[in-house]
Structure 1
Amino acid sequence: RLLSSVIAALIAFPTDGVEGRNDQVATDIRLWLMDYLSDELLPQLRRLINTLVSRAESETGVLMPGYTHLQRTQPVRWSHWLLSYASMLRRDCQRLADCRARTAMCPLGSGALAGNPFEVDRQALADALGFTSGVTWNSLDAVADRDFASEFQFAAAMIGNHLSRLAEDLILFCSKEFGFVTLSDAYSTGSSLMPQKKNADSLELIRGKTGRLCGHLVSLLMVQKSLPSAFNKDLQEDKEGLFDSADTPWFESPTVHPEACAGALSCDMLATDLAYYLVRRGVPFREAHAASGRCVALAEAKACQLHQLTFEDFRTVSDTFGEEVTQLWDFETSVEQYGAFGGTALESVRQQVAAFRRWLGDEQK
């Protein structure tokens, strides 16, 4: 189809055979990438975002631990975790759209490097071929530079990094140590030796493929870094990585287990809530944080859980604690305090879902 488009444009706007292959090659690569972004990659990303948003919308009641340094920290909604990756992928879509706009400048009519001597209407060529951003401004630049390919490969590598992080989270969550999710049989395999195992092979492949995407980006950048002006044969190396970066697998979301997620919550994760409680009673956060830490140390010294401390125990740490401190140990109440937009409270999650729905609707227009 691309070849037919180029031929049709050249017939409609003859250039008397003076076009060099350099501008034609640059034109072909740009046409291919424009179509791939519009027809395949961007729609795939939007479908994945829609899947994450739909799951987030329907599974708001699932609470799970949030993690930093792989340590349990604060309770969050499963939906909030899903939307964190939807947010990353939304930025990837924006990067790809920007990349496509810069790719959609037509280099045809630039000749070998000096331009076209026969007053060819380059804008008419661009219109005929579907280049929506007009024509390139400089013929030397048009045949010599592949920054649009590098830009795409960066975007592909960034998508790969985001999907690799998502895959790594799911690999952990699928393990017996977590048990938060189960991957469908279509995306997992059994062990060749141990029948009790179910391996998240598809997720591991996504994680592994990301290294190749990053490698293609570095490879193309290194090819271009010392090239003199105009076209050089080195630029033939732009294609293998470009086409390979475009051929990346996708996956569906797993089944979540709310009971397992809730079972991983523990009251020590609400230690920060103790600090927030004191802040709301007028204590500076630095002092409140220190007092919360002393409560944790006291519970450890008494060999009990944080929520098992008595009111008198809390008063030995700070006389600012009131009797209601013993009522703090509710995970739903904890997540509901994060009501600012972007937080993990139910209404905030619903607002995020609505924002994603509006964005997806605008993208389809």
Structure 2
Amino acid sequence: MKLWSGRFAQETDPRVESFTESISFDVRLARHDVRGSQAHATMLAKVGLLTEQERDQIVNELNAILARIENGDLELSPSLEDVHMHIESALIEKLGDVGRKLHTGRSRNDQVATDMKLFTREAIEHIDRLLQDAQCALVDRTERDVDVILPGYTHLQRAMPVMAGHYWLAYCEKFQRDRDRLSDCLRRVNVSPLGCAALAGTSLPIDRDYTTELLGFSEPAANSLDVSSDRDYQIEFVSALALIATHLSGWAEEWILWFSTEFGFLKLPDAYTTGSSIMPQKRNPDVLELIRGKSARVMASVSQLLLLVKNLPMAYNRDLQEDKLALFDAYDTIAACLELVPDIISGAELQVDRIRERLDEGFLDATALMEYLIKRGVPMRSGHGIVGRLVAECEQRGCRLSDLTLAEFQAASDRVDETVFDVLGPDNAVAALQSYGSGGRAAVAEQTQRWKQQLSES
């Protein structure tokens, strides 16, 4: 069915209708389409292309149509292709020629672009709020675990001790970079395509600045030809989502390890674990595993969009209908993951006794000992070698660095005196950390206050 054109002599093949429809997934744009159409109608009345009465009829009926869609009362048909034609068809059915005037000075090309920018702008704001919720949960954990020391790892090998709050705040930093990327992306999203029409603009006296203002965009797009093909903002948004997915996946992987019997660092809330169909003792971290797994879908969406646009000539091509599937799925997936994150963070319990009883393993104080030697005039590389030999000796004897005698330390370096024991052991090693941004107690307390203030203001 070709309701809007007299060009064709034949009806569309039903198989083509099914193949080309997008109403099955773009119906979620109905609210944005109505908002854009109402702004367009308001502008048409302002410039004299609609009467005020016609504007009011259109605006009011669009509200009624949206209510029908949201209530499931408007029949959705593949023959009408997309949400835009469903809404326009329902408008014409109710208002006749008045409804037919709505599309004056507008193409589906800029209409689609406007709807998608309105959707993406809202999606960015939603993801930003969810990231902030996750940051707040992390800062709360920092204060809750204020006295807990964790082993820090590199290469999944024990490296240096850090305050637990240092770990929580590390994810605050990652999520803040995610929020900053979204904020930067928003600048390019918030440019209005409406009024660019099919590709070359229009000869009608429309007012693009007015629709820009009505829809809350920062400025109108400056090139009508660019607008109908531009999907950069979608790729940028989904790329930002892919980085969020990367951070969530890394966090989930760590907690899956921490939850294992081998680590035993963490107990997850029952509400976020599942059982086994055959092994009654199991508590599986399925939610974290799915967060880790779903990240692949978000990352794949970036490739999907890049591949979609890489060969397209300028202006609109029907290929671009497929952009929504990738963007919607990436957004929905990240939103679903982030909805769960704050409660998982808040509900998990560090197994403090288990962590503490093994904290002396792995020579977490070795770097503190090396820096002790540096402070006493030993060149860094020489100190590195001295401590490495002491660690090797302790491994052979099955003891800790702090178990060595003062005489043994002095045999390794004549710069050592009894104060060496003030830096040995994880508590002392953490206490020695003092640089800005470090994992020491004072530095973490400083960063916690900074984050509390920053989040209260955002």
Is the shorter-chain TM-score for this pair beyond 0.5, marking a shared fold? yes
Aligned AA (1:29):
M
How far 1:12 moved relative to its partner? Answer: 0.8
Residue 286 of structure 2 is aligned to residue 201 of structure 1: yes
Is contact 2:309–2:320 with CA below 8 Å preserved after alignment? yes
| Residue of 355, 358, 366 corresponding to 1:271 | 366
Mapped partners of 2:434, 2:143: distance in 1? 17
| Residue of 41, 46, 49 corresponding to 1:11 | 41
Q: Structure 1: where are the runs of 5+ without partners?
A: none
Is contact 1:341–1:352 with CA below 8 Å preserved after alignment? no
How far 1:343 moved relative to its partner? Answer: 1.1
The sequence identity of aligned pairs, in percent, is: 40
| Residue of 107, 111, 118 corresponding to 1:24 | 111
Give the secondary structure class of the aligned counterpart of 1:112. coil
Give the secondary structure class of the aligned counterpart of 1:189. coil
Aligned AA (2:118):
L
Is contact 1:34–1:104 with CA below 8 Å preserved after alignment? yes
Residue 274 of structure 2 is aligned to residue 189 of structure 1: yes
Residue 382 of structure 2 is aligned to residue 287 of structure 1: yes
How far 1:217 moved relative to its partner? Answer: 0.4
Root-mean-square deviation (Å): 1.5
| Structure 1 moving runs of 4+ over 4 Å | none
Which sits farther off after the overlay, 170-179 or 16-25?
Answer: 16-25
Residue 195 of structure 2 is aligned to residue 100 of structure 1: no
Partner in structure 1 of residue 164 of structure 2: 78
Mapped partners of 2:241, 2:367: distance in 1? 38
Mapped partners of 1:324, 1:149: distance in 2? 59
Aligned AA (2:453):
R
Partner in structure 1 of residue 259 of structure 2: 174
Residue 357 of structure 2 is aligned to residue 241 of structure 1: no
| Residue of 31, 48, 59 corresponding to 2:134 | 48
Residue 446 of structure 2 is aligned to residue 332 of structure 1: no
Is contact 1:56–1:79 with CA below 8 Å preserved after alignment? yes
Residues 335-355 of structure 1, C-alpha deviations (whole Å, 9 max, x = no match): 122222211122211211122
**TM-score by structure 1 length?**
0.95
Mapped partners of 2:414, 2:230: distance in 1? 69
How far 1:59 moved relative to its partner? Answer: 1.2
The structure having more radius of gyration, on CA atoms, is: 2
Is contact 1:274–1:292 with CA below 8 Å preserved after alignment? yes
Give the secondary structure class of the aligned counterpart of 2:203. coil
Which sits farther off after the overlay, 147-156 or 294-303?
Answer: 294-303
Q: After TM superposition, list the pairs within 5 Å mapping 1:58-137 onto structure 2.
A: 58-131=144-217, 133-137=218-222
Residue 64 of structure 2 is aligned to residue 34 of structure 1: no
Q: After TM superposition, list the pairs within 5 Å mapping 1:324-363 onto structure 2.
A: 324-363=419-458
Which sits farther off after the overlay, 271-280 or 307-316?
Answer: 307-316
- The alpha-carbon distance between structure 1 residues 321 and 64, as it changes in their structure 2 partners (threshold 3 A), is same
Residues 108-154 of structure 1, C-alpha deviations (whole Å, 9 max, x = no match): 111111112223111110111121x2111111111111010001100
Mapped partners of 1:263, 1:190: distance in 2? 29
Give the secondary structure class of the aligned counterpart of 1:304. coil
**TM-score by structure 2 length?**
0.76
Residue 254 of structure 2 is aligned to residue 224 of structure 1: no
Aligned AA (2:389):
R
Is contact 2:138–2:172 with CA below 8 Å preserved after alignment? yes
Residues 269-307 of structure 1, C-alpha deviations (whole Å, 9 max, x = no match): 111111011011011111111111111122234443322
Give the secondary structure class of the aligned counterpart of 2:152. strand
Residue 213 of structure 2 is aligned to residue 156 of structure 1: no
Mapped partners of 1:312, 1:258: distance in 2? 34
Is contact 2:368–2:432 with CA below 8 Å preserved after alignment? no
Mapped partners of 2:412, 2:283: distance in 1? 48
How far 1:188 moved relative to its partner? Answer: 0.3
Mapped partners of 1:305, 1:41: distance in 2? 47
How far 1:204 moved relative to its partner? Answer: 0.3
Aligned AA (2:408):
D
Residue 88 of structure 2 is aligned to residue 2 of structure 1: no
Residues 202-248 of structure 1, C-alpha deviations (whole Å, 9 max, x = no match): 00000000001000001101111121111111111210010111113
Is contact 2:108–2:198 with CA below 8 Å preserved after alignment? yes
Residue 394 of structure 2 is aligned to residue 309 of structure 1: no
Mapped partners of 2:107, 2:155: distance in 1? 56
Is contact 1:336–1:344 with CA below 8 Å preserved after alignment? no
Partner in structure 1 of residue 25 of structure 2: none
Mapped partners of 1:318, 1:336: distance in 2? 23
Give the number of equivalent residue pairs: 361
Residue 355 of structure 2 is aligned to residue 261 of structure 1: yes
Give the secondary structure class of the aligned counterpart of 1:120. coil
Is contact 1:181–1:256 with CA below 8 Å preserved after alignment? yes
Aligned AA (2:228):
V
How far 1:332 moved relative to its partner? Answer: 2.1
Mapped partners of 2:423, 2:40: distance in 1? 74
How far 1:34 moved relative to its partner? Answer: 0.9
Mapped partners of 1:36, 1:245: distance in 2? 11
Is contact 1:66–1:76 with CA below 8 Å preserved after alignment? yes
Is contact 2:368–2:423 with CA below 8 Å preserved after alignment? yes
Mapped partners of 1:301, 1:292: distance in 2? 14
Q: Structure 2: where are the runs of 5+ without partners?
A: 1-30, 50-100
